[in-house]
């Protein structure tokens, strides 16, 4: 009978679909990295794209981006920090932008290793101001908790790790144990691009923000990186890190979007309970993309917190 052969062929095609979909996406080649607007550090864990803004000799501020948007999300923020007298280091997390599609479970240790290797490569040994946005806020908090003696100030912008992120239409793709991985690799890009269209904003500093994000979904290794980070980092709370930060007495500023559909304002209350010393700034009318849509208000919050 032909049916067993047909069913076998269908099963084989289904099983091979994730690998085929990934193979069809654009790889991040050495030549492509050579065209990056910055530099490439060949770290033990893999090539990392980074950029310095500001003057040599100024105190160092490190900016850590979130789950899905590479370091260009700090286009306005790095300029604001430089005007405040900081030398600003931004970089692409593994799996995003021009950085390596490094192997391994993308939990907190995975990203802390990349950050420490980059700081070592760049000979950054003095005190730091660390700024983390969204998932980057969770990484920044972990770094500040473990490297308390190095961190003078911690700035969290719509940080993850305090309360569960709000569910999106495609959220079930990430949570389903087996089929979630298949759907993410095969259809995740389509789902994310649809969300970008439906939630299109009017950014003031990155006019082609949604187009650049859509291009990421067509890059090899990006969707598996998002899936791994969701499962190995964002699925876990960082409450203990904030308690250690509180106990050390590190200065903390948290900036929130009042209309954020991803990180609910309940996270602000949770941080306040874990670290009553933390300072909070809430930006009216801002959503999760507040770095692009409300750069002036973010800049003013940074100036008020950091100015001597």
Domains of the chain: 3-306 (3.40.50.1820)
Whether pLDDT at 8 is above 60:
no
| DSSP assignments along 94-141, one per residue | TTSTTS----S--SHHHHHHHHHHHHHHTT--S-EEEEEETHHHHHHH
The confidence score (pLDDT) of residue 199 equals: 67
pTM, two decimals, is 0.93
Average pLDDT, the chain: 90
Q: How many CB atoms lie under 10 A from the CB of residue 29?
A: 10
Radius of gyration of the chain (CA): 20
Top-confidence residue, 140 or 205: 140
**What's the pLDDT band for 205 if we cut at 50, 70, 90?**
confident
pLDDT interval class at 10 (50, 70, 90): low
- The set of residues, in sequence order, having a beta carbon less than 8 Å from that of 190 and lying 6+ positions away, is none
The rounded distance, in Å, linking the Cα atoms of 278 and 272 is 7
- Please give the structure tokens belonging to residue 64: 């850590």
């Amino acid at each position: 009978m032909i049916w067993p052969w047909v069913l076998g062929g269908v099963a084989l095609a289904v099983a091979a679909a994730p690998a085929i979909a990934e193979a069809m996406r654009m790889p991040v080649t050495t030549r492509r990295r050579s065209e990056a607007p910055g530099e490439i550090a060949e770290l033990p864990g893999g090539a990392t794209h980074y950029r310095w803004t500001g003057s040599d000799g100024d105190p160092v501020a490190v900016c850590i981006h979130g789950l899905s948007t590479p370091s260009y999300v700090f286009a306005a923020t790095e300029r604001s920090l430089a005007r405040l007298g900081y030398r600003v280091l931004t970089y692409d997390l593994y799996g995003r932008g021009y950085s390596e599609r490094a192997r391994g479970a993308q939990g907190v240790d995975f990203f802390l290793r990349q950050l420490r290797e980059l700081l070592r490569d760049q000979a950054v040994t003095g005190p730091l101001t660390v700024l983390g946005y969204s998932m980057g806020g969770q990484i920044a908090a972990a770094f500040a908790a473990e490297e308390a003696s190095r961190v003078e100030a911690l700035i969290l912008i719509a940080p993850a790790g305090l309360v569960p992120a709000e569910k999106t239409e495609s959220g079930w793709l990430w949570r389903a144990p087996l089929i979630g991985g298949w759907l993410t690799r095969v259809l995740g890009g389509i789902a994310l691009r649809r969300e970008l269209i439906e939630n299109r904003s009017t950014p003031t500093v990155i006019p082609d923000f949604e187009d650049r994000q859509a291009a990421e979904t067509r890059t090899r290794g990006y969707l598996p990186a998002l899936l791994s980070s969701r499962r190995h980092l964002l699925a876990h709370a960082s409450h203990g890190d904030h308690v250690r930060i509180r106990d050390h007495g590190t200065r903390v500023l948290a900036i929130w979007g009042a209309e954020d559909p991803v990180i609910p304002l309940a996270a602000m209350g949770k941080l306040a309970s874990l670290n009553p010393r933390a300072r909070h700034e809430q930006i009216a009318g801002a959503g999760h993309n507040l770095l692009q849509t409300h750069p002036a208000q973010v800049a003013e919050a940074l100036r008020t917190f950091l100015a001597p």
